Chains A and B, each alone.
Chain A
């Protein structure tokens, strides 16, 4: 072949792949928080769904940032079909018209779900919890309260905490002796916020901040920190890999992660089908078996093995004294408190 044509056809091939890849595909794009959570979702939801329906899934991860979704929706050029969301982002996005108002009739009977797992634009995937996790090898004794997390004498060493105001301030108040039911009331006042930051000042030099959920188990396993706030599921996965990490459930903070459909999603019908599939009790059961987050479908809870059930945030003994994350509070205050947190952390 003439080398000129060879070059030209190569260019053509490249160009076609280039533009074929930009055009929308029929595959359903699902964005979730990555790591072991995503792996569990793949096993419990994505793979069986593709097997059952023949619809392929493009799975990708993000860290909860809403900017991309906002930009896509405003440009009316949405490439994501289903997104895993934390509650405040969901509530805010719903108000701002980023997410479709869901038609429950396409998903399943309302009565099957924990009532608080359902909202206008979202449907709960699972209940997760932020707990105190510790490295049993590095710690002499067992922490039993958030006050112990602050106790540098009894438990010397560094602490891991999520970089951000959300939950950090709650834990500070809990450690300062505020009762779980009063936490958000206290945090709603100026004095309460100051109190929380003052409490955080006590351990500030000892805090190692983390951003992604996969980090705390590593920090703990590597001995970089002796205790850390962590998502209970990530710790359980690390335990499975043989790491000697433990969970303190006292005064954990729990919340839902939900599915949402961005307005203008290219494959809305399949997105609904997927959400309906993932909300079925038998699939939620598989998910909870992979990573110990509690099902939102009440029927799913009933199906779960006893051994697994004890590790779920929804287990009665774990729920005792637990604090439900206050979505409304964080919708309102994330702007000012995150700003103040940044200012505090940077000093």
Chain B
């Protein structure tokens, strides 16, 4: 525990005090151990249920186990192959032998699926080939394989195997930035009709930004209003902010569907007022998503703003006003700068939370409003492409972490929930 002594008060140099001092130091050290032991259970618990799983997920974004598991020997041989001409007979023989070994097992299916991911059609190529194994004694592996499918006579096929003959791959991370490794081993952009993730990531940031700005525009006046009321009124008004904050997100999503559907209250009101003569599409598109997201995240903006504003003394504003500064100007020059910490805290909080949203867009939006989280879930559940899910998670995670780091610098993580209150 020597590292802790750095924070100890400097020892006094009077001799008779020394034993007392060392006793004091020991007591302090015991104290630290005792209180450290209080933190330990939580630290271990979060290590197991949170840190470790996320670390494992991030690692999965570069994992590439399928081919080396299925064809360890072939992989080793292919790593030594120059990639120019067809590999030699030894590689063919090793490959055919290993094919025979894993015939009919999930290992083969996993390898076939992995290769099919890069070249559609590879699954059936593998399945067709495996039927030709095991080889009859004395048969040439090269001939049998090429006979089963002529593509085994092409270097491109072997290059695909060779590219995946290592335990790690950049494929998923590249793919989540709309890039891939082409047949020559160069990193190139994916074709425009398949490119999607850069757009999705930009959209994730874009939507979060818009929601944050709208929350600020709505949250600032209300927070100011509440902060300038007498305590009793302020408390009642705060309840109006806290009630939606405490209400289940799903309840609010359901409520917005009811309100915004084609015969819902909002459309009824609009038609009654003569603003429109036919129901507007307000839900299952971007309108619905933005409205609901702002509604869900607005309290996260108002509460930090309010707590900052409550601490601003009205004296300066009054001074400015009494010195003849016009109200708006004195507000802008005197009051507003003092609210900046609140704007920073609320804005970052809303932005961070918005970036990770999944439920609201998935229930209220069309494919055009789906953000990164949606695709993480999609790849996990629908296509079981866990490498892709991990890679997208990694990008989203790093972005969140960066913003969170700025946030903790700005407010200190301790204050987060205290402010959210």
Among A95, A222, A224, A338, which residue has its beta carbon within 8 angstroms of that of B127? Answer: A95
Tell me the nearest residue of chain B to A158, going by C-beta: B281
Most A C-beta atoms less than 10 A away, residue of B121, B200, B382: B382
Residues 305-347 of A contacting B (Cβ, < 8 Å): 328, 331-336, 338-340, 342-347
Nearest CB of chain B from residue A217's CB, rounded to whole Å:
16
Which B residues touch A115, using CB under 8 A? none
* Interface size grouping (class) on chain B: 35 or more
* Bound Cα distance A95, B110 (Å): 9
Interface: B109 (CB within 8 A): yes
B-side residues, CB < 8 A to A, are: 105-106, 109-110, 112-113, 116-117, 120-121, 123-124, 127, 193-196, 199-200, 203, 261-263, 284, 366-368, 370, 375, 378, 380-385
Whether B381 lies near A65 (C-beta < 8 A) is yes
Whether B262 lies near A67 (C-beta < 8 A) is no
Whether B380 lies near A197 (C-beta < 8 A) is no
Interface: A177 (CB within 8 A): no
Residues 281-306 of A contacting B (Cβ, < 8 Å): none
Whether B382 lies near A163 (C-beta < 8 A) is no
- 8 A-B pairs closest in CB distance: A97-B106, A343-B196, A345-B367, A96-B109, A65-B381, A95-B109, A336-B120, A67-B381
Tell me the nearest residue of chain A to B389, going by C-beta: A67
* Bound Cα distance A333, B119 (Å): 10
Whether A346 lies near B378 (C-beta < 8 A) is no
| Given A209-B366, A335-B120, A336-B120, A347-B194 contact (CB < 8 Å) | no
* Interface size grouping (class) on chain A: 20 to 34
Interface: A208 (CB within 8 A): yes
Interface: A70 (CB within 8 A): yes
Taking A96-B110, A335-B117, A343-B196 as given, write out 8 further A-B residue pairs in contact, using a Cβ cutoff of 8 Å, ordered by the A residue number. Answer: A67-B380, A95-B109, A97-B105, A328-B124, A331-B123, A333-B120, A346-B367, A347-B199
Interface: A35 (CB within 8 A): no
| Given A332-B121, A346-B196, A96-B262 contact (CB < 8 Å) | no
Which A residues touch B124, using CB under 8 A? 328, 332
Which A residues touch B117, using CB under 8 A? 335
| Given A95-B127, A96-B110, A338-B382, A222-B263 contact (CB < 8 Å) | yes
Tell me the nearest residue of chain B to A194, going by C-beta: B193
Nearest CB of chain B from residue A46's CB, rounded to whole Å:
26
Whether B370 lies near A346 (C-beta < 8 A) is yes
